[in-house]
Amino acid sequence: MADRNSPIGVFDSGVGGIGTLAALRRELPGETFLFYGDTANAPYGTKSRDEVMACINRIMEHLLGHDVKAVVIACNTATAVAAAELRARYDLPIIGIEPALKPASEVRREGSILVLATPMTLKLEKFRALYARYGEGAIPLPCPGLMELVEREADDEARRYLLELFSPYDLTKVDAVVLGCTHYVFLRPILKEILPETVSVLDGNEGTARQLRRVLASKELLSEGPGSVTLETSGNPTLVLPVMQRLLGRA
Ligand code: DGL
């Protein structure tokens, strides 16, 4: 039976959720985190909903086998596909991440908001509901292939991808860019080069970390430490773990 000293499971389709993990560590340094990157099955965002659900079911079994006290879905796509179903099925806190459209609507002046996410995230009901509520001036931009460039740390290709993606827009008329996929958070340095300084670049990592703290506190599940992190991947650990370590250092 999980208690306050049990680990918190965190998962993503790959290395993107490492940025979320870093935010969780900053917010809750006393917690034990078990991060799982499903690299062997990435990307999720261009698969079918059933295929993604099957991957998530396997990960949940794995995390529950480690007696986790809570799960953070550090993946916008997996949250959109599975958060509601997992909450109905399991009796433990499940925290998801969603595109930061609400914070973007708060910083918006007269300009537009570009929302970058996977094709799957933008297609599903969860995003549609968010868009109906906070989407004034927002332009959804599906980015197939972009997460793979982050996985490969292919910065030059990612720069070209983003320049092409933004080419139809007058960036001086953009108020915010929403990073609606956890992988894209690692593109912030490139976005800083490309975007005018007036554009706010927003992601959901800090909000997710605050939400985890609130939920654990309300259930008296906060640990007093000492904290630690274990990284796991379904891919080739010799290749993937060094990338995860590097990104964790950078984040
Ligand atoms: N990192 C994921 C997200 O936040 C998904 C990337 C993918 O697997 O396509 O949406």
Say which of 8, 74, 75, 80 is annotated catalytic: 75
Structure tokens at 235: 């891919």
Choice from 81, 118, 126, 178 to test ligand 1 binding pocket (greatest atom count within 8 A of CB): 118
Answer for the pair 166, 114: CB distance below 8 angstroms, yes or no: yes
> Mean pLDDT over residues 64-93, rounded?
98
Confidence of residue 251 (pLDDT cuts 50, 70, 90): confident
> Residues lining ligand 1, judged by CB closer than 6 Å?
12-13, 16, 42-45, 75-77, 118, 121, 147, 181-183
Task: Establish whether 143 is a catalytic residue.
Answer: no
Atom of ligand 1 nearest to the CA of 13: 8
> Mean pLDDT over residues 130-144, rounded?
98
Cis check for the bond before 140: say yes or no (omega within 30 of 0).
no
pTM of the model: 0.97
* DSSP per-residue letters across 20-72: HHHHHHHH-TTSEEEEEE-GGG---TTS-HHHHHHHHHHHHHHHHHTT-SEEE
Confidence of residue 60 (pLDDT cuts 50, 70, 90): very high
**pLDDT at site 120:** 97
Answer for the pair 248, 23: CB distance below 8 angstroms, yes or no: no
**196-230: per-residue pLDDT in tens?**
999 999 999 999 999 999 999 999 999 988 999 99
> Mean pLDDT over residues 174-191, rounded?
98
Other CB atoms within 10 A of residue 229 CB: 18
Task: Establish whether 75 is a catalytic residue.
Answer: yes
